[in-house]
Structure 1
Amino acid sequence: MKLLYWLDEWLTLSPSEQRERLPMTGCDLLDDVYVKYHLVDPKKPLLFAFSPAGTNYQTSDLHKDFAPWGYRLAQKQQVNVIAFQHLGQSNWFRSRNLIFFLEQLAPLLTPFSTRLGYGLSRGGFAVGAFSELLQLDYVLLLHPVSTKNTTIAPWDTRSSTELAQQFDWQGDYHDLQLGNAKGYIIYDPTNEIDRKHAKRYQTLTHLRVYGMGHGTHASYLNKFGFYKQVAKDFMHHQELDIKKFRQQTKTLRLKEDYYQSLNRANSNSPHRLALLSTAHQILADEKENHVQEHQAQIDVQPLIDVAVKHQDDHPKDAIKLLKVAQQLVPDDPLVEHKLRQLG
């Protein structure tokens, strides 16, 4: 627990001496959780990041350059970061050693006035559970689990719920405790279990992404840079431009590759494939309307003017220009007339 000792000593220094000790980078192993930290400036936000499910790192995988989920992104944004990577496949941040560490850590963070929490799925659970303890100001949660306590959430029938019962879901920090944290929760409302978990985060701003799914789909959204840009905005401003966010998700949904990826991820679920097919058809129609609206706003007259000006000296180039104009406005009678003339 090197970070605790370092912070305890650091707090006794004057502000100028504290600044001289930064940046500070290190790591600790807390039973089955690896923590890595990079502290640069107490005037900048301090981000707590907790890893999602889908990884199965072991102690043997750790090395000096190993970076937990969210660590490198925060480092590139030049904010302070303390990132937690669970080890093993079934791990819900329930280790007594980890909890003791967080309880000792919380009162040592007084110089950091802005504290953020960032978590996806299982990591979202940890952010919600430890939010009040760590006195987080803002959180960004991506399809988080709120608890694996079967009394509180009997509707969470995922296989991970049964595996999670090996841990204590009655003791401290087993359920969401947001405290005064504000922020955002992003999820797919067509995923019934995710929707029910999300409803329990009543004080957060809900942002819905249809077709986003849960778990394995995260890699497909990462492919389009979706999570990364949202996280960057959150780290820098602690706010998301909701109008921009909705435009981004609309643009994402108009990508054919997005649906192809989701179809592959859901190949064993006829129910979700049917939902995706319906959504895909609706959005294909939306895309066609979008293209038609865009075409209606295109002025191809400058292309026609250039083609007409050079049609005698460079007829082949004029035809190429007119064909470009035809692609932009397929039914324009003037373009068709000029092409027939030159053809």
Structure 2
Amino acid sequence: MKLLYWLDEWLTLSHDEQQTRLPMSGGDLLGDVFVKYHFIDINKPLLFTFSPAGTNYQEHDLNDEFSPWGFQLAQKQQVNVIAFQHLGISNWFRHRNLLFFLEQLAPLITPFNERLGYGLSRGGFAVGAFANLLKLDKVLLFHPVSTKNKALAPWDDRSSTDIAQQFDWEQDYHDLDLGNAKGHIIYDPTNRIDRMHAKRYSQLTHLRVFGMGHGTHATYLSKFGFYKQVAVDFIRDQQIDIAQFRLQTKTLRFKEDYYKRLNRANKSSPHRLDLLSKAHNILIDEKHAHVQEHQANIDIQPLIDVALKHQEQHPKDAIQLLEVAQQLAPDDPLVEHKLKQLK
């Protein structure tokens, strides 16, 4: 564990001497978790990221160029980062080597005054479970799991819960322990299990996105980079522009598949389905008038920026986003020009 030895020596230096030893980077294998770190400036935040589910990386996939989830995003924002990537499919960051590493690491990172945590789903669980140990100041969590301990979360009947029982959910770090951390949790309240997990993060600011679903790429918004932008704001500024976030997520209301998704999520509740139907019909009747009334005040630039960013790799997605922008601002010449180019 090269990082622990390096930090132990580095900690004995003066502040100025510590800065002269940077940048420093490297990686280690901690049982079934790979950690990669990069320190650039002692005066900048230290970000911890933990990977979500959805990958099946193995030890033979690791090389000098391999980057764990969130690592490159942190580098682009020019902050210090320690990123953890789980190996295998069923992995809940429970390996004893990882726990030992984190316990030894915690007292060695005192020079970093601002410590952040960022994770989705399974990665969000890890951020929450280790937040107090690492003395995180702020966290950003997308639809995190709080625990897979059936006694604490008996309502979590996902198949992943049964699979996760191969691990120890009684000993240390098996449940959320935020300590004094503040921050935001983003989730879809129509997802019953996500909603129940979110309730257990009572000290965080809750941002609810109806129709978001559960998953790293849950909706078309995440494909266009909206949620990535939230993470960028959090990493760069240690805060989220909530008003802008809500404005961006409101574009969901202009997509027909948004209501289809909500209908599926609420299919067992006739009352909610009736309310959704009424809301949808009202929107259809008022949409045109609403857009005409407010189009002068609608800022479509974030939509255009994301579309332009992804136009080469995802031209079809860029076209869809520009079409939404055109609905909001029918007379915008840039939108019309870009649509003609891409089509």
TM-score, structure 1 length as denominator? Answer: 0.79
Residues 41 and 328 (structure 1 numbering): CA distance in 2 closer, same or farther, change over 3 Å? closer
How many residue pairs get aligned? The number is: 298
- The 5-angstrom pairing of residues 255-294 of structure 1 reads 255=255, 271=267, 282=279, 285-286=282-283, 289-294=286-291
The one-letter code matched in structure 2 to 1:142 is F
Query: Which residue of the partner structure matches residue 29 of structure 1?
Result: 29
Runs (4+) of structure 1 moved beyond 6 Å? 257-260, 274-278
Q: Which piece of structure 1 moves more, 279-288 or 52-61?
A: 279-288
Asked if the contact 1:32/1:86 (under 8 Å) is kept, the reply is yes
- The 5-angstrom pairing of residues 138-153 of structure 1 reads 138-153=138-153
The one-letter code matched in structure 1 to 2:15 is P
Deviation, 1:216, is 5.6
Asked if the contact 1:124/1:144 (under 8 Å) is kept, the reply is yes
Asked if the contact 2:259/2:276 (under 8 Å) is kept, the reply is no
Residues 297 and 214 (structure 1 numbering): CA distance in 2 closer, same or farther, change over 3 Å? closer
Measure the CA separation in 2 of the matches of 1:165 and 1:291. Answer: 52
Report the aligned-residue RMSD.
Answer: 2.8
Query: Which residue of the partner structure matches residue 239 of structure 1?
Result: 239
Residues 196 and 21 (structure 1 numbering): CA distance in 2 closer, same or farther, change over 3 Å? same
Query: Which residue of the partner structure matches residue 218 of structure 1?
Result: 218
The alignment status of 1:182 with 2:178, answered yes or no, reads no
The one-letter code matched in structure 2 to 1:34 is F
Deviation, 1:115, is 0.3
SS state at 2:43 partner = coil
Q: Deviations over 1:91-130 (max 9, x none)?
A: 0000000000000000000110000010100000000000
Query: Which residue of the partner structure matches residue 308 of structure 1?
Result: none
- What is the percentage of aligned positions where both structures have the same residue? 68
The one-letter code matched in structure 2 to 1:122 is R
Asked if the contact 1:11/1:108 (under 8 Å) is kept, the reply is yes
Q: Deviations over 1:146-170 (max 9, x none)?
A: 0000011111000000000000000
Measure the CA separation in 1 of the matches of 2:295 and 2:175. Answer: 54
The one-letter code matched in structure 1 to 2:32 is D
SS state at 2:151 partner = coil
Measure the CA separation in 1 of the matches of 2:74 and 2:169. Answer: 31
Query: Which residue of the partner structure matches residue 312 of structure 1?
Result: none
SS state at 2:34 partner = strand
**Higher Rg of the two aligned structures:** 1
The one-letter code matched in structure 2 to 1:16 is D
Query: Which residue of the partner structure matches residue 314 of structure 2?
Result: none
Q: Deviations over 1:263-311 (max 9, x none)?
A: 9xx99x8939x98998588357536634323324679xxxxxxxxxxxx
Measure the CA separation in 2 of the matches of 1:216 and 1:29. Answer: 24
Measure the CA separation in 1 of the matches of 2:100 and 2:221. Answer: 35
Residues 11 and 187 (structure 1 numbering): CA distance in 2 closer, same or farther, change over 3 Å? same
Measure the CA separation in 2 of the matches of 1:298 and 1:252. Answer: 16
SS state at 1:207 partner = strand
Query: Which residue of the partner structure matches residue 321 of structure 2?
Result: none
Unaligned runs of 5+ residues in structure 2 are: 297-328, 332-343
Query: Which residue of the partner structure matches residue 295 of structure 1?
Result: 292
SS state at 1:88 partner = coil
Deviation, 1:14, is 2.3
Asked if the contact 2:217/2:223 (under 8 Å) is kept, the reply is no
Query: Which residue of the partner structure matches residue 108 of structure 2?
Result: 108
Query: Which residue of the partner structure matches residue 321 of structure 1?
Result: none
Asked if the contact 1:55/1:89 (under 8 Å) is kept, the reply is yes
The one-letter code matched in structure 2 to 1:42 is I
Deviation, 1:231, is 0.4
Q: Which piece of structure 1 moves more, 34-43 or 100-109?
A: 34-43
The one-letter code matched in structure 2 to 1:88 is G
Measure the CA separation in 2 of the matches of 1:289 and 1:196. Answer: 34
Residues 58 and 40 (structure 1 numbering): CA distance in 2 closer, same or farther, change over 3 Å? same
Measure the CA separation in 2 of the matches of 1:82 and 1:181. Answer: 18
Unaligned runs of 5+ residues in structure 1 are: 300-326, 330-343
Q: Which piece of structure 1 moves more, 128-137 or 215-224?
A: 215-224
Measure the CA separation in 1 of the matches of 2:223 and 2:277. Answer: 19
TM-score, structure 2 length as denominator? Answer: 0.79
Q: Deviations over 1:18-44 (max 9, x none)?
A: 112111111111010011111111211
Query: Which residue of the partner structure matches residue 69 of structure 1?
Result: 69
Measure the CA separation in 1 of the matches of 2:86 and 2:99. Answer: 13
Measure the CA separation in 2 of the matches of 1:45 and 1:128. Answer: 18
SS state at 2:118 partner = strand
Asked if the contact 1:119/1:141 (under 8 Å) is kept, the reply is yes
Q: Deviations over 1:38-95 (max 9, x none)?
A: 1111211111000001111111111211111111111100011111000000000000
The one-letter code matched in structure 2 to 1:119 is G
Residues 113 and 158 (structure 1 numbering): CA distance in 2 closer, same or farther, change over 3 Å? same
Query: Which residue of the partner structure matches residue 201 of structure 1?
Result: 201
Asked if the contact 1:211/1:276 (under 8 Å) is kept, the reply is no
